[in-house]
Structure 1
């Protein structure tokens, strides 16, 4: 089955536009977790820097080899932290999945900070290597590397889309992981951009932000799509998706001024044209990070979190219906 689902939801008030970033910046790293966890696991090293992930095991395993939800944080590819896993926006999703036997993973990646030399492609490479590390070390954490669902918000949503639809043999970084290929079972994107080649997708009357503000994080200079077409296309899930790509769920606010609604519609339209399995949920009266942007909060953030967790669980438990 390949359902096309468009739901109109209203969301809970009081969610700030930078919930994950605020959580990380406060330095709060203690998370109330019932099961065993492995914090700051080094999955690769770039120069002198170790890149880390946190691995949270369920309190009671329902599988001999557990499925995985792999979380990639947002922050415009230049901010944010894996600590966003524990924010009020995200943690309930992971708690629901852990109750159903999932191992929950939050991954760190290099950020495109000014002067760092890091590009968006490096972010993709890092999170790809994180998946490869999990597969290579699957027995250590009793996980099934063939049952991984990837999930991200905002910039992390784009990265989750890339993990879902791009080739698992591309974006190799750490040579000790280069021969490991991982194909996620499915992906989930909260308000992640789908295409950097069309600047009109970033234009909105809701904001005066520069619609081309992310281009330098792709190209490394002031040149845009015309000068760096291959790089812009490479970072756009729209150019990767195929008929047989793993299923993808996109949740998008209809009044999001940071990543406008047309991004989700754009990818959904192509998916329908080629027969790819993409579901889209349009969240009514919602801005970025589900902050209230007009209207009453109905059914609220809790429902968005439930839908997200239920989708991941459904993709794992109904693998046999996919063919």
Structure 2
């Protein structure tokens, strides 16, 4: 019996050493980020008080043209790692929302503190643009724009010291819809720029803020003039829904997915996120669903309680997928 207990103790110690060897960096990273997060909460930092943390004040490269295939130059911004390190940097790509018609690539204040915290730990943040719809639906072009941004990262990894094996994507609303399609589809789907099409588009993880996952669930009544014109331009809605529903692309090789959505969302039904989560579980894709309670669709007027919930979940999810 003593011999058995001795070997059991040796095995347990060995397992503990292996666990620490594998996860010690993540444990340390989690501690540092949680410490910063708690510090922000203790100082009662709100979205109106983040001037010192605004991303725009520490941008390294602005309006880099990543492609021009339709007479409209498309650009991205790079917020480089704030940590002095010669190793290639993990990348977080931000894709803005705006109902496919509006918006720009500036980082929302609600996301700035958490993204800057990751920059301090060695991450590079890239914010991209895509061709906005003007008068008619053009989902295909927008998806290829997001996908070509990912391909651009692979192409330019050496120029900006980026690690293409460690790309995470954050999309909001329409940007989340495009990010889901770009991330779930295969390398050879949704191509546009001939040069960029030679590069991979694989990512490691995806964060979806209230993205439409099933276009058939959207309420297209009482839309404004621009959106009414867009949806009226679709001749065969069934074909569009089939091709541009992200949930149709979920498969066993899909990246780890974090879904963040309010159950009071007045624009995109919360049901769409529930269905995406269930589909991920069905396909054995690692997925999490964080439910918010603000009566808003995007991050513009999100409550401080939901900011805390969102930030904590976002932090934990990225750390779990972190190579640092």
TM over 0.5: yes
- Inter-partner Cα distance in structure 2 for 1:290 and 1:55: 21
Q: Which has the higher helix share?
A: 2
Q: Which residue matches 2:29?
A: none
Shift of 1:46: 2.1
Residue 31 (structure 1) aligned with residue 56 (structure 2): yes
Q: Which residue matches 1:302?
A: 308
- TM alignment of 1:256-267, pairs within 5 A: 256-267=265-276
Deviation sequence 1:208-247 (CA, Å, 0-9, x none)? 645xx969757x7243xxx343332221111000122111
Please identify runs of 4+ aligned residues in structure 1 that moved more than 6 A. Answer: 213-216
Shift of 1:100: 1.7
Q: Indicate which of 125, 132, 138 corresponds to 1:104.
A: 125
TM-score w.r.t. length of structure 2: 0.76
Q: What are the ranges of 5 or more consecutive residues in structure 1 without an aligned counterpart? A: 1-11, 17-28, 319-323
Please tell me whether the aligned partners of residues 185 and 316 of structure 1 are also in contact (alpha carbons under 8 angstroms): no
Residues 216 and 240 (structure 1 numbering): CA distance in 2 closer, same or farther, change over 3 Å? farther
Residue 41 (structure 1) aligned with residue 80 (structure 2): no
Residues 102 and 157 (structure 1 numbering): CA distance in 2 closer, same or farther, change over 3 Å? same
SS in 2 for 1:288: coil
Deviation sequence 1:168-204 (CA, Å, 0-9, x none)? 22111111111111200010011111011x3xx235x
- TM alignment of 1:115-126, pairs within 5 A: 119-126=138-145
- Inter-partner Cα distance in structure 2 for 1:99 and 1:57: 10
Q: Which residue matches 1:149?
A: 168
Q: Which residue matches 2:94?
A: 71
Larger radius of gyration: 2
Deviation sequence 1:2-29 (CA, Å, 0-9, x none)? xxxxxxxxxx9x989xxxxxxxxxxxx9
Shift of 1:156: 0.8
Q: Indicate which of 218, 226, 247 corresponds to 1:202.
A: 218
Please tell me whether the aligned partners of residues 244 and 276 of structure 1 are also in contact (alpha carbons under 8 angstroms): yes
Deviation sequence 1:272-302 (CA, Å, 0-9, x none)? 2222222111112442125679xxx573413
Please tell me whether the aligned partners of residues 94 and 309 of structure 1 are also in contact (alpha carbons under 8 angstroms): no
Say which structure, 1 or 2, has more relative contact order (CA 8 Å, 6+ apart).
Answer: 1
Residues 287 and 167 (structure 1 numbering): CA distance in 2 closer, same or farther, change over 3 Å? same
Residues 178 and 309 (structure 1 numbering): CA distance in 2 closer, same or farther, change over 3 Å? same
SS in 1 for 2:83: coil
- TM alignment of 1:152-167, pairs within 5 A: 152-167=171-186
* Superposition RMSD in Å: 2.9
Query: How many residue pairs were aligned?
Result: 274
Residues 237 and 291 (structure 1 numbering): CA distance in 2 closer, same or farther, change over 3 Å? same
SS in 2 for 1:178: helix
